[in-house]
């Protein structure tokens, strides 16, 4: 503590002295200005603290004074059921995490392939372009829950030889189908955001269309699209909870099982909070990456 104080005192001294040899003495005007700024900061902190306190008190009173609160507290916020549910929910969550990792990779690869297919030129690729466009149109429009029901419940009903009926695999497939359509659009927007002069420069060096895409356009497009891609991954992370409709025992299903037995809804709250806890680091990471990219752009980088 003493050290910190000593250091900050020295820094302050450095600050006022400026560069060595420069005998700068802050003017009375500067000192007055700084005093005023400090006072303003103190006032702002006090106002924020008071306002937070009042808001919290009001919220507390509204909830606790609600006529149904004692009953709600018992059915949604029971400590006993929370303790019982947490291990099971966490066990189920492991499935969500694995689904996220595997689907995440599949979505990125498939999304990139579809985006590239949509930007291909030349008559040979016409059917590919049309298919890719139809794919993104269809799966972006189809509600995920319906997609899941069709794949998870419909495919086993066909009783095809050699096709899995595992709800996890089928659920993962459905997630991948929907999300790769979204991610393909993110990639495509990135590819189209690269200025044509970059492609022109690449082509003028003798690079083929494919080489220009691979070495010049895609690397820039992907870097630029990192924030929206991470955003889609956060979304995918929580939507892995929907595979529970096929009976796969993930975090949501684990909570469901306890609720069905006890008729107490606390496990749902637990599962919900666990998902939130899982998503927050990812969201913060996204914010951090976005801020870093923005800063680079402000500094005059053209990335």
Cα 49 to Cα 31: distance, rounded to the nearest angstrom: 27
Site string for another protein, 75-94 (x = CB under 8 A): --------------------
293 close to 303: Cβ distance less than 8 angstroms: yes
Residue 83 or 223: the one with the smaller Cβ distance to another protein is 223
Q: Which region among 29-37, 80-88, 266-274, 295-303 touches another protein (by CB under 8 A)?
A: 295-303
Cα 69 to Cα 61: distance, rounded to the nearest angstrom: 11
Task: Name which position in 215, 273, 277, 288 contacts another protein (CB under 8 A).
Answer: 215
Residue 40 or 296: the one with the smaller Cβ distance to another protein is 296
- Binding-site size for another protein (CB under 8 A) equals 22
Task: Tell me: does residue 208 bind another protein (CB under 8 A).
Answer: yes
Q: Which of residues 182-201 bind another protein (CB under 8 A)?
A: 197-198, 200-201
Residue 141 or 206: the one with the smaller Cβ distance to another protein is 206
Residue 220 or 290: the one with the smaller Cβ distance to another protein is 220
Residue 223 or 284: the one with the smaller Cβ distance to another protein is 223
| Cβ-based neighbour number of residue 81 at 10 Å | 22
The Cα diameter of the chain in Å comes to: 88
Task: Name which position in 98, 129, 203, 238 contacts another protein (CB under 8 A).
Answer: 203
Place of tokens 């929910």: 89
Residue 68 or 300: the one with the smaller Cβ distance to another protein is 300
Task: Tell me: does residue 303 bind another protein (CB under 8 A).
Answer: yes
In the chain the first and final C-alpha atoms are separated, in Å, by: 43
| Cβ-based neighbour number of residue 91 at 10 Å | 13
Tokens of 146: 């319906």
Tokens of 167: 């709800």
Nearest distance, CB of residue 192 and another protein, angstroms: 17
107 close to 183: Cβ distance less than 8 angstroms: yes
Cα 180 to Cα 6: distance, rounded to the nearest angstrom: 56
Task: Tell me: does residue 211 bind another protein (CB under 8 A).
Answer: yes
Task: Tell me: does residue 207 bind another protein (CB under 8 A).
Answer: yes
Nearest distance, CB of residue 229 and another protein, angstroms: 17
Residue 98 or 203: the one with the smaller Cβ distance to another protein is 203
Q: Which of residues 237-276 bind another protein (CB under 8 A)?
A: none
Task: Tell me: does residue 301 bind another protein (CB under 8 A).
Answer: yes
Cα 53 to Cα 49: distance, rounded to the nearest angstrom: 6
CA distances from 287 to 65, 228, 234, 277, 290 (A): 37, 10, 12, 16, 5
The answer for 18, left when phi > 0, alpha when psi is -120 to 50, beta otherwise, is left
Residue 47 or 205: the one with the smaller Cβ distance to another protein is 205
Task: Name which position in 83, 140, 223, 284 contacts another protein (CB under 8 A).
Answer: 223
Task: Tell me: does residue 1 bind another protein (CB under 8 A).
Answer: no
255 close to 268: Cβ distance less than 8 angstroms: yes
Task: Tell me: does residue 2 bind another protein (CB under 8 A).
Answer: no
Cα 24 to Cα 18: distance, rounded to the nearest angstrom: 6
| Cβ-based neighbour number of residue 258 at 10 Å | 21
- Under the rule (CB under 8 A), what is the footprint of another protein? 197-198, 200-208, 211, 215-216, 219-220, 223, 299-303
């Amino acid at each position: 503590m003493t050290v910190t104080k000593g250091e900050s005192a020295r820094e302050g001294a450095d600050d006022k002295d400026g560069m060595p040899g420069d005998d700068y003495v802050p003017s009375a005007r500067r000192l007055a200005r700084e005093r005023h700024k400090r006072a303003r900061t103190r006032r702002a902190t006090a106002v924020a603290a008071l306002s937070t306190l009042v808001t919290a008190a009001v919220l507390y009173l509204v909830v606790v004074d609600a006529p149904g609160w004692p009953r709600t507290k018992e059915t949604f916020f029971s400590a006993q059921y929370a303790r019982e549910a947490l291990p099971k929910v966490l066990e189920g969550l492991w499935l969500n995490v694995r689904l996220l990792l595997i689907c995440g990779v599949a979505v990125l690869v498939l999304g990139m392939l579809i985006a590239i297919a949509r930007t291909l030129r030349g008559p040979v690729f016409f059917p590919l372009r049309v298919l890719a466009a139809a794919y993104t149109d269809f799966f972006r429009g189809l509600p995920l829950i319906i997609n899941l029901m069709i794949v998870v419940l419909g495919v086993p009903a066909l009783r095809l030889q050699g096709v899995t009926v595992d709800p996890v695999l089928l659920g993962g497939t459905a997630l991948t189908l929907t999300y790769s359509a979204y991610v393909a659009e993110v990639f495509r927007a990135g590819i189209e955001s690269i200025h044509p002069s970059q492609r022109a420069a690449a082509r003028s060096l003798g690079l083929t269309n494919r080489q220009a895409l691979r070495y010049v356009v895609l690397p820039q497009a992907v870097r630029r699209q990192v924030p929206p891609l991470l955003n889609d991954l956060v979304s995918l992370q929580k939507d892995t909870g929907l595979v529970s409709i096929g009976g796969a025992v993930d975090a949501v299903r684990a909570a469901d099982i306890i609720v069905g037995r006890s008729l107490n809804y606390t496990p749902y709250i637990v599962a919900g909070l666990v998902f939130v806890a899982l998503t927050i680091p990812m969201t913060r990471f996204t914010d951090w990456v976005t801020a870093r990219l923005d800063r680079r752009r402000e500094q005059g980088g053209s990335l």
